[in-house]
A and B are shown apart, each in its own frame.
Chain A
Amino acid sequence: MARSMTPDDMKKFIIETLGLEDIEPADIDADAPLFGGGLGLDSIDALELGIALKRTYGVQTSGENPATREHFRSVNTLVALVSERG
């Protein structure tokens, strides 16, 4: 990757992937729980996002890795996940 991913990049990626037309990057708290929280995102959204990350960034979530749950917690943890693999 030319440059490392920022939390803002991840927010834009999430908004685009899940079609959150009425939500701006500033509306998303990078540290807050993404799913089951105030954004109204459910587990199907989590799967959508996971598939998109896999397609776009080659992030692998297979294998019985206990860290996966932590990675899907917030924008910041997702950034860490992508940066690790990138």
Chain B
Amino acid sequence: MTAFLPPSRLLSGGRPGGHPAALAPGPRSWSDFAAACEGVARAWGRRGAEGPVVLACQDAWDFAAGLMGLLAAGRDVAIPPSFLAGALEAVPGASGILDVLPPPAEPGPARTCGGQVTFWTSGSTGAPKAVVRNLAQLDAEVEVLEGLFGALAGAAPVAGTVPHHHIYGCLFRLLWPLAAGRPFRAQACGDPAAFLEAVPGAVLVSSPASLSRLWRLLDPRAMERPPAAIFSSGGPLAQADALAWLPPGVVEVYGSTETGGIAWRRQDGGPGSDLWRPFPDVAVTFGEDGALGVEAFRAGPAPVRMEDAAQPAEEGRFRLMGRLDRIVKLHEKRIALPAVEAALESHPFVHRAAAVLLEGARPALGAVLVLAEGAPESVADLAHALRSHLEGRLEGAAIPRRWRVAAELPYDERGKLLPGALSALFQPGETR
């Protein structure tokens, strides 16, 4: 294995030029990468403007070289929440947009990177919010990942189903592999064919939205070479979906754009494997309202209050109880939607459940169900059975009044449940 070079020292000249850097889609060497970065650094290094450069390369190889080249030139980088035209223009004070790489250039003396990187949060609770990560924080992030999971990942190439311009994909698909010297696959492998080509023997960087579907389509146990390691982030993975990927199992990472990685788990069906272990540099606290608090250098100087409820468990681990904003008020009663979902999923007819507060003249709780085999076809029969199952388990107000059956729950590309899409299933005209 080659020397570990965190982002600030990535272009310090400490790696042989022949070392593999990427499959983009053909093999690219480390000297190819360094030359692409140098081209960017020269083109963008002396423009005099102070504002951040908007990095909008749709190709992950270009994106990685653009990011490191800009940082090598000491420029601040803004990574827009999407590559749509409106999002690019929304970056305040930007001095330019890098979407096409300039020609590569022969690297000169070693470059030390500077500057900071702005990401945007998913905006699931409102408008996207800018989050600034400085290079020392990104260095610390990839160092923690290598310390925890480097041995697991070995020297395998890294393939991903998630976008490279969100912090999870940027770290796990690009910055961490670059630091460790694992070649990254530039093309996402989210569709079944690309998956089968890219993933055997590779490190897979994915999300619950992909992993919960892929194993139903392609039997992972029939793969001649399973993935070397699988990572998932963006939301919790249901236990059945996690078990389907054994071996090697799924390392789920809990984190946020604001804090970086916070904790991890690998569900294998064993006792306590559903509990989260904080990363070694993270201290967690539990607020009076149940909110999880995070203290870490990577998260910034002040403790960060997460929008998730958590309970402490044995050996410093914790149990996640769902998002705080998933506690809704109906009939003056507080209802934790995750508790409704857990109660529904404890019935054998239900594979997955999502509860949503339906606003309107008569607010009501709605349940969207992914059915297990053997469930009745009639929604009325189903609702009847589930209602009697929930009585005694939940307060009356927490028992859903409206029911919909879906093939899958609506998750976004980062694996977050979309409340708007859930409500939409109950609109007039949706008869499923």
Contacts and interface: CB of A to CB of B under 8 A. Distances in A.
Interface of A: 17, 35, 42-44, 46-48, 50-52, 54, 61-66, 68-72
B351 to A, nearest CB: 13
B211 to A, nearest CB: 10
Q: Which secondary structure dominates chain A's binding surface?
A: helix
23 contacts: A42-B413, A43-B190, A43-B191, A43-B194, A44-B213, A44-B411, A47-B191, A47-B214, A50-B192, A50-B217, A51-B217, A51-B407, A52-B407, A62-B217, A62-B218, A62-B219, A64-B196, A68-B196, A69-B196, A70-B193, A71-B193, A72-B191, A72-B192
A48 B191 contact: no
Most buried by A among B194, B210, B218, B413: B218
Interface in B197-224: 197, 200, 209-210, 213-214, 216-219, 222-224
A27 B224 CA distance: 40
Nearest to B217: A50
Contacts of B197: 64, 66, 69
Nearest to A73: B193
A46 B192 contact: yes
A46 B407 CA distance: 14
B188 A61 contact: no
Contacts of A44: 190, 209-210, 213, 411, 413
Contacts of B192: 46-47, 50, 61, 68, 72
B118 to A, nearest CB: 25
A47 B196 CA distance: 13
Contacts of A46: 190-192
A62 B195 CA distance: 11
Nearest 10 A-B pairs (CB), nearest first?
Answer: A43-B190, A69-B193, A47-B213, A46-B191, A68-B193, A50-B217, A43-B191, A62-B219, A62-B218, A62-B222
B407 A42 contact: no
Contacts of A71: 193
B308 interface: no
B353 to A, nearest CB: 19
A47 B200 CA distance: 18
B161 interface: yes
Residue of B193, B196, B224, B407 with highest tally of chain A CB at under 10 A: B193
A64 B200 contact: yes
Listed residue (B188, B192, B194, B222) with the most chain A CB atoms within 10 angstroms of its CB: B192
Given A62-B219, A64-B200, 19 more contacts: A17-B407, A42-B413, A44-B213, A44-B411, A46-B192, A47-B214, A47-B217, A48-B408, A50-B192, A50-B217, A51-B213, A61-B192, A61-B218, A63-B222, A64-B223, A64-B224, A68-B196, A70-B193, A72-B192
Nearest to A21: B429
B191 A35 contact: yes
Contact of B190 (A42, A54, A62): A42
Contacts of A64: 196-197, 200, 223-224
A85 to B, nearest CB: 14
B185 to A, nearest CB: 14
A20 to B, nearest CB: 14
Nearest to B224: A64
A47 B219 CA distance: 13
A78 B36 CA distance: 39
Contacts of B222: 62-63
Nearest to B221: A62
Q: Counting chain A CB atoms within 10 Å of each CB, which of B191, B200, B218, B408 scores highest?
A: B191
A48 B190 CA distance: 12
Contacts of B413: 42, 44
A70 B204 CA distance: 22
Given A47-B214, A62-B218, A69 B190 contact: no
A72 B210 CA distance: 16
Contacts of A69: 191, 193-194, 196-197
A42 B411 CA distance: 12
B217 A54 contact: yes
B239 to A, nearest CB: 19
Contacts of B196: 63-66, 68-69
A42 B161 CA distance: 11
A61 B190 contact: no
Contacts of B193: 66, 68-72
A86 B264 CA distance: 44
Contacts of B217: 47, 50-51, 54, 61-62
A51 B209 CA distance: 13
Interface string B144-183: 0000000000000000010000000000000000000000
